[in-house]
Chains A and B, each alone.
Chain A
């Protein structure tokens, strides 16, 4: 019980902090039974790491700030998401971030860690005493702390009509539309996309034209439906994105392939679409 009370006192510190402000180290707050039972973590053998996390509260709006938190890595899981959850549980309950599966499949915890976009649940905490900086996905409107507004991203995904469209009914009505193994293999590298938005928010072209350029994620999905052998609206799909802004803002910067936490290559799929546009 006392443990929780200590946490709340820490949380009521004023939200406007100077840049040098540090919160009380984790050792002080965890004077509860858990930390004392781990005799090794007290005193020597402690591994403190500082996390600088972007904070902005719409209820007390001021300038966004980077707030410092010290975490004992011996007490914490290996991934950045473990550190964030530990901070939220023990040090600052007002820290806001999205998370769900904790295994890199839902795409909720996408954020910018040390300058690179990635999933917090899949990014290991870097050992060493360097500070880790955690900010929300770049060039996205911030709703609170690390939570960003994804509506534009989702609307762009919706606009490419990501569902199977057919003109003729299935050859065996009521049964699956068959597809050869080779045709199914064409979809590998595209169906795994979890719509985390790491790629689109790492693309400078998307930063400068977020409303008109569709972005690597939406174009990857557009290619997924264009390449699907069961889909019969290929020509219409290609014509819909054959636009100066929707497709051709891509200048093969290839930041998307670098940022993708699932190892996909949206740039390659966009090149494939451009080739089809050329030949078609």
Chain B
């Protein structure tokens, strides 16, 4: 992790990640682990795959993440789940 100054966009991504972890804390313990697992794999995957200069896509992902976080914060929502889709050739 770079110890040098983080750009504004990097700070936004980190604060979104922190927001997800904080929201996970308010859920029951099993769901909390699942949320943390899903969120961390998603963020790590994107940090490797997405080009640092692709601002449009990063902003799109940030907006998407903020909306999902707002939904997660609501007390009615208890957990996240994720499904892996493999495109078949047929």
Contacts and interface: CB of A to CB of B under 8 A. Distances in A.
Interface string A131-145: 000000000011100
Interface of B is mostly: helix
A61 interface: yes
A61 B63 contact: no
A263 interface: no
A61 B57 contact: yes
B74 interface: no
B57 A141 contact: no
Nearest to B50: A61
Interface in A101-160: 141-143, 149, 151
Interface in A32-67: 56, 58, 61, 63-64
Contacts of B57: 58, 61
Contacts of B60: 58, 61, 141-143
A64 B63 contact: no
Interface string B10-32: 00000000000000000000000
Interface residues of A, number: 10
Nearest to B51: A61
A141 B63 contact: yes
B54 A141 contact: no
Interface string A57-100: 01001011000000000000000000000000000000000000
A61 B53 CA distance: 12
Classify chain B's interface size.
under 10
B89 to A, nearest CB: 11
A233 to B, nearest CB: 29
Contacts of A58: 57, 60
A143 B60 CA distance: 7
B56 interface: yes
B54 A61 contact: yes
B63 A149 contact: yes
A210 to B, nearest CB: 13
A231 B63 CA distance: 37
Contacts of B56: 56, 61, 63-64
A143 B59 CA distance: 11
A143 B54 CA distance: 15
A143 B61 CA distance: 10
Nearest to B58: A61
Contacts of A61: 50, 54, 56-57, 60
B50 to A, nearest CB: 8
Interface of A: 56, 58, 61, 63-64, 141-143, 149, 151
The 4 A-B pairs with the shortest beta carbon distances in the complex, nearest first, are: A61-B57, A58-B60, A61-B54, A141-B63
17 contacts: A56-B56, A58-B57, A58-B60, A61-B50, A61-B54, A61-B56, A61-B57, A61-B60, A63-B56, A64-B56, A141-B59, A141-B60, A141-B63, A142-B60, A143-B60, A149-B63, A151-B67
